[in-house]
């Protein structure tokens, strides 16, 4: 087991399935024998607003919130939301960003947002998760699961492939299990 805590920020827009991702990752961390703390928000923020979830795992975890600048990995399901959470990024933080743009009233343009993302100095993966899931599976909402699988398979999160698969089986409803597993395989093929 790795001694150091591993801190993940998951950012996106209400309705993108962020709580499901938090559940999958934390169940996988439990299987791998870590202590875990996560924090999520429900209610008002879910209605298409910005959503932020924290997950920390390691030998012994106290705070459920990740400190500013201390994220090991930022998973963003939307590009503006990736920028909004850049404050959690420190010297070694890796960003994994879905190249999806969801416009909103008063928000910056896709071009501006993309330009800002290009400026991120840390290691950044910009992945067309929404497009891939829409084309290959017909369900864009699986983009998050795709990114999580991508991160684990690429070694960006110290969790095992087997645990992620088991966690998916445990977390998602039976009728959606097949498409979630398909998403995992898709990520495996594309890394």
Partner 1 sequence: MKNILGKSNQRVLLLGNEAIIRGALEVGVDFVSTYPGTPASEIGDRFNEIVKSQPYIAKNLYFEFSVNEKVALEAGVGASYCGLKTLVAMKNFGLNVCQDALLPFVYTGSKGPTVIVVADDPSCHSSAQSEQNSRPTSYLAHLPTLEPSTPQECKDFIHLGFEISEKFKIPVMLRLTTRVAHQRAIVKLDKLVECKTKGKFIKDKNKFVTMPPRVLGMKEELLEKIEKIRDFSELSPINKISRGQASANLGIITSGVSYLYVVDALEELGLNLPVLKIGMFYPLLKKKIIKFIKPLKKVLIVEELEPWLEKEINVLAKNVNPKLKVFGKNILPITGELSPDIVLKAMAVFSNKKIKPLKENKVLIPKRYPQPCPGCPYWLAFNAVKQAVDTKKVVFGGDIGCYMLAGTPCIALQDYLSCMGSSIGIAHGIKKSSSQKLITFIGDSTFFHAGIPALINTVFNNSSPLIIVMDNQTTAMTGHQPNPGNKIKIEDIVKACGVKNLKVINPVKQKEMVETIKNFIKKDEVSVIISRSPCLFIK
Per CB under 8 A, 26 contacts partner 1 = yes
84 vs 136 by CB, closer to partner 1: 84
Yes or no: say if 34 and 1 are a contact pair by the CB < 8 Å rule.
yes
Phi, psi (deg, nearest 5) at residue 68: -60, 135
16, 89, 99, 163: which one binds partner 1 (CB under 8 A): 89
Question: How far lies 150's CA from each of 55, 89, 183, 190, in Å?
Answer: 17, 20, 10, 8
DSSP 39-84: E---GGGGTTSEEEEEEEEESS---SSPPTT-EEEEEESSHHHHHH
Phi, psi (deg, nearest 5) at residue 29: -65, -35
Determine the Cα–Cα distance for residues 30 and 54; give it in Å rounded to an integer.
16
DSSP β-bridge partners for residue 174:
none
Per CB under 8 A, 110 contacts partner 1 = no
Per CB under 8 A, 35 contacts partner 1 = yes
Q: How far is the CB of 173 from partner 1 (least distance, A)?
A: 11
SS3 of residue 135 by DSSP: helix
From 78-86, 123-131, 144-152, 181-189, span contacting partner 1 (CB under 8 A): 78-86
Per CB under 8 A, 109 contacts partner 1 = no
Per CB under 8 A, 123 contacts partner 1 = no
31 vs 153 by CB, closer to partner 1: 31
Per CB under 8 A, 50 contacts partner 1 = yes
Per CB under 8 A, 133 contacts partner 1 = no
Per CB under 8 A, 47 contacts partner 1 = yes
Question: Which spans of this chain sit near partner 1 (rule: CB under 8 A)?
Answer: 13-15, 22-23, 26-27, 30, 35-50, 61-69, 80-81, 83-84, 86-87, 89-90, 104-108, 116, 170
């Amino acid at each position: 087991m790795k001694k150091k805590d591993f801190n993940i920020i998951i950012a996106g827009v209400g309705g993108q399935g962020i709580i499901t991702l938090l559940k999958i990752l934390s169940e996988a961390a439990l299987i791998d024998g870590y202590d875990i703390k996560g924090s999520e928000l429900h209610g008002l923020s879910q209605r298409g607003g910005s959503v932020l979830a924290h997950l920390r795992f390691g030998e012994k975890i106290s705070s459920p919130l990740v400190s500013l600048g201390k994220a090991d990995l930022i998973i963003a399901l939307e590009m503006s939301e990736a920028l909004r959470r850049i404050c959690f990024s420190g010297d070694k933080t890796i960003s994994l960003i879905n190249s999806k743009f969801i416009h909103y009233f008063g928000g910056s343009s896709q071009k501006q947002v993309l330009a800002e993302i290009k400026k991120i100095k840390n290691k950044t993966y910009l992945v067309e998760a929404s497009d891939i899931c829409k084309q290959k599976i017909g369900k864009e909402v699986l983009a998050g699961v795709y990114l999580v699988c991508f991160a684990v398979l690429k070694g960006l999160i110290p969790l095992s492939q087997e645990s992620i698969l088991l966690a998916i089986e445990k977390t998602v409803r039976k009728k959606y299990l097949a498409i979630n597993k398909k998403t995992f395989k898709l990520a495996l093929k594309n890394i």
